[in-house]
Amino acid sequence: MLRALPGLLLAALAACTAAPVSDSVSTPPDFISDVTVLAGKGAESRREPWMRQGKMILFSDGTVLADLGPSVNGRTRPGRARVLYQRQVRQMWDLARQLGFAAPEQADFDGNPDTLEAADGELLYVLAFTGDGQRWTFVRRFPADKGPDEATGQWVKAMAEAAFLRELPEGMDLPVRYDFGPDPYVWFKKPGA
């Protein structure tokens, strides 16, 4: 027993000083997933969050940003929706790998995604990923009445669920408020102005 102790100690010390081994299936430390859904004219009435105009961003630290609405576009920086545990971030990366979105060589768009617009009756999905110092983008276009393909739909649904975005119940619309109440500066204005 005592003879094996120096050997174990040496092995333990050698393991501590060894360079970390890159695991190809581990989540990249700079992992970011950025999903933008743009709805063309006539496609704005969908109730599912993965088929409504919006943006969702997942950072490697677990922060999820999300926003839905007609004013959201590729340049929008949504507010924070929630923070995932690292286990959940790893699950998201694993899902991206399973769906084929974690491979930069499979990306099909290399331009500026902020310049893209959805055509009438179309849903445009821009899926941008960052990992291991690289950035890659997938662009998918679908008729609004058919919806996305299986992989795109599954990824965007997972992102929407991670952001706690839910489907609107039938008959319920999001409130639009145009009247913000009385003018708070009325007391400072000259009469008749």
CATH number, position 144: 3.30.1560
How many of the other CB atoms lie within 10 Å of CB of 28? 16
| Residue 192, domain member (yes or no) | no
Question: What share of residues in the chain are helix, strand, coil (percent, to 5)?
Answer: 25, 25, 50
| Residue 180, domain member (yes or no) | no
CB-CB contact of 83 with 62 (8 Å)? yes
Using DSSP, state whether 71 is helix, strand or coil. coil
The pTM score is 0.74
The reported pLDDT for the residue numbered 125 is 94
Phi and psi (nearest 5°) for 170? -60, 135
63: nearest Cα among 38, 88, 95:
88
The reported pLDDT for the residue numbered 147 is 81
Residue 181 token pair: 């109440």
The reported pLDDT for the residue numbered 25 is 61
Q: How far apart are the C-alpha atoms of 179 and 64, rounded to whole Å?
A: 31
* Burial group, residue 53, by CB count within 10 angstroms (0-12, 13-18, 19+): buried
| Residue 90, domain member (yes or no) | yes
Q: Give the chain's domain count.
A: 1
81: nearest Cα among 166, 2, 1, 144:
166
Q: How far apart are the C-alpha atoms of 75 and 14, rounded to whole Å?
A: 48
The reported pLDDT for the residue numbered 14 is 47
At a CB cut-off of 8 Å and minimum separation 6, what does 156 contact? 35, 37, 50, 56, 125, 127, 148
The reported pLDDT for the residue numbered 20 is 39
Q: Where in the sequence is the domain holding 152, given as residue range(s)?
A: 30-167
Using DSSP, state whether 39 is helix, strand or coil. strand
| Residue 115, domain member (yes or no) | yes
Residue 12 token pair: 């333990």
CB-CB contact of 131 with 61 (8 Å)? no
The reported pLDDT for the residue numbered 181 is 64
The reported pLDDT for the residue numbered 145 is 85
| Residue 188, domain member (yes or no) | no
| Residue 189, domain member (yes or no) | no
Q: Which residues of the chain have pLDDT under 50?
A: 1-2, 5-6, 8-24
| Residue 54, domain member (yes or no) | yes
Q: How far apart are the C-alpha atoms of 144 and 47, rounded to whole Å?
A: 12
Residue 49 token pair: 């969050």
| Residue 144, domain member (yes or no) | yes
Give me the numbers of helices (H) and strands (E) for the chain, helices first please: 3, 6
Taking only the tens place, the pLDDT of each residue in 98-139 is 999 999 999 999 888 888 999 999 999 999 999 999 999 999
The reported pLDDT for the residue numbered 158 is 95
